[in-house]
Amino acid sequence: MTENILEMKNISKSFPGVKALDQVSFDLRPGEIHALIGENGAGKSTLIKCLGGQQMQDEGDIYIDGKKVEITNAKVSRDYGIGIIYQEFNLVPAFTIAENIYLGREYKKNGMIDRAGMIRDADEILNSLGQENISANTPVFKLSTSQQQMIEICKAISTNSRIVVFDEPTAVLTQKETELLFQIIARLKEQGVGIIYITHRLDEVLQLSDRITGLRDGVVTRTINNGPDVTKDDLVAMMVGRKLDAYYPARTVEPSDEVIFEARNFSYRRIFSDVNIKLHKSEILGVCGLVGAGRTETMKSIFGVLPHDSGEVFIDGKKVEHISPHELIKHGMVLLPEDRKNEGLSLMQTAAINLCIPNFDQISKRGLVDSRLRSKFVDKFFNLLSVRPPLPNRLAINFSGGNQQKLIIAKWLARNPRILVMDEPTRGIDVNAKAEIYNIMNELTEQGMSIIMISSEMAELMGVCDRIMVMYEGRFIDEFTRDEFDEQNLARAQSGIRVHAS
């Protein structure tokens, strides 16, 4: 048995309200590919950030070559021979490939920066990765996404990293590029580099890895050796089974057969394609999928915030001519964005003003705000959704996440919408507030409203929705009605394994 190159022992890390990692232990041997799997929010990224020096663990120790180390910042991490290829690239767009690769450890010659030397060596690294057609003197902003990822790999190789972490590397790659990446990974492995491979694609896990560790809710479920008898179902079992942590109200209304909203054939570049959605009156439709599956982009595009290459929207069976937020709001559809702090609320203004922003017509007379109408309006919605504390003049930033979400819902309810699209409406809010939001959703459908809810929490979708559509790599690949809800099946579909025949 070879000595571990890396050992992470009993790592714990908490953020306000969540325990992201709880006594996680993980190890890596030289020349090994160790896959790390888990659902969105399971704690994979947090673990890697501890390794990369972007965050410090609260508890637990990290050992490299058996020696205990303190990884306090990115530079320390690099000096220990850890190279991390993050999902978001960290490149300076205006700089050349060579300048990016050697940023922070530039070559010097007579006190000056030695660009020629950096370009020469960078070209060599590029060649060794089969990228003969790119010159290291090219500015990075001219590169495609996959080429940019290649530069991140070059960075890791150029520091002679002995531990290389790939975080969802194939999400942005084509089939051919993926094959090339696998060759590179195989070569690194031969050289004795230890590789941590994070992905949602279970095929890749089975194809590449030597060992597999599953994370769920910040806890390691199992670490297994990969082998011919390991199946995708085994992997799914390592990821699912999250605790039910909220109370779901019983649905008190049956969706009718009437289709109130329909999106047909929405496609945009390689982000999503052939998206078809039918929403019935009084229905809560769940949309699930892994991060990067294109859920948010699809809904934003249908709402007209993002562009689309093709697609039509029908409301009440009538085609909506110009797809734009303005037009869809007029037709009674509203979108509650995922990023509520940036896109949903004006945080540094009062709750009352936030409520009034899209509703000035209801509180003004002859173009002037009528303060009596205004306070009546604000009180009405504060009471309706029981926003707490009931202080309309408090700044939005000072409300809790759950109450901020209520404010956003309230502000759009005033427009009397019939179709509500909610993107991750309960992310980052506490259990009680979640239950309140679910109740509000149920009540709204009682009044005839229809809701599309995007969520990464499968338990929540199963608890609240009448129907769940599963998105995988930009397509809806499967659909489940309430009596078919099953966490294993949903997790399979999310990983690209269709349960129903198409």
Partner 1 sequence: MKKKFNLFTWLLDKRELSLTLLILAMAVILSFTTDTFATRDNIFNIFKQAAITAVLACGLTFIISGGGIDLSVANNMCLASVVLCMVYNATQSDILALLVGVVLAATVGALNGVLVTKLGLPPFIVTLGMSNIASGLALVVTKGYPINFSNKSLMFTVGQKSLFGIPILILLIPFFTLIGQFVLRKTVLGNRLQACGGNPVAASLSGLNVANLKILTYTIGGIFAGFAAFMLAGRINSGNPSAAGTVGMDAICAVVVGGTSMAGGGGTVVGAMVGAILMQLIKNALIQYEVSMYWQTAVIGIVLVCVCALDLVTRKAGEAGQK
Is 108 among the residues that bind partner 1 (CB under 8 A)? yes
Q: Which residues, numbered 253-272, are part of the site for partner 1 (CB under 8 A)?
A: 269
Can residue 397 be called a binding residue for partner 1 (CB under 8 A)? Answer: no
Instruction: Establish if 142 lies at the interface with partner 1 (CB under 8 A).
Output: yes
Q: How far is the CB of 143 from partner 1 (least distance, A)?
A: 8
Residue 264 bridge partners (DSSP): 312
Q: Does 111 bind partner 1 (CB under 8 A)?
A: yes
Residue 400 touches partner 1, criterion: CB under 8 A: no
Can you give 268-330 as a three-state secondary structure string? ECCCEEEEEEEEECCCEEEEECCCCCCHHHHHHHHCCCCCCCEEEEEECCEECCCCCHHHHHH
Please state the closest distance from residue 111 (CB atom) to partner 1, in A.
Answer: 7
Give how many residues touch partner 1 by CB under 8 A. Answer: 26
Taking CB under 8 A as the binding criterion, the range among 104-112, 230-238, 372-380, 423-431 that sits at the site for partner 1 is 104-112
3-state secondary structure of 27: strand
SS3 295: helix
Of 196, 181, 136, give the one whose Cα is nearest residue 5. Answer: 196
Residue 348 found at the interface with partner 1 (CB under 8 A)? no
- Asked if 97 and 140 count as a contact pair (C-beta separation under 8 A), the reply is yes
Helix 371-384 with 401-413: angle, nearest 10 deg: 120
Q: Which stretch binds partner 1 (CB under 8 A): 70-78, 184-192, 221-229, 294-302?
A: 70-78
Q: Is residue 73 involved in binding partner 1 (CB under 8 A)?
A: yes
Q: Does residue 100 interact with partner 1 by CB under 8 A?
A: yes
Half-sphere exposure of 68 (CA within 13 A, CB side): 3
Interaction of residue 144 with partner 1, rule CB under 8 A: yes
List alpha helices for 108-258, DSSP H: 115-128, 145-158, 175-190, 202-208, 232-239
- Using rule CB under 8 A, residue 56 touches partner 1: no
Query: Between 76 and 259, whose beta carbon lies closer to partner 1?
Result: 76
Q: Does 120 bind partner 1 (CB under 8 A)?
A: no
To partner 1, the closest distance from the beta carbon of 83 in angstroms equals 11
Tracing tokens 């232990």 back to the chain, one arrives at: 25
**According to CB under 8 A, which residues from 80 to 99 bind partner 1?**
90-95, 99
Distance of CA 488 to CAs 214, 219, 458, 459, 483, Å? 15, 19, 10, 11, 14
Rank residues 113 and 369 by Cβ distance to partner 1 and give the closer one: 113
C-alpha 401/C-alpha 431 separation (Å) is 11
Binding residues for partner 1 (CB under 8 A): 52, 54, 73-75, 78, 90-95, 99-100, 103-106, 108, 111-113, 133, 142, 144, 269
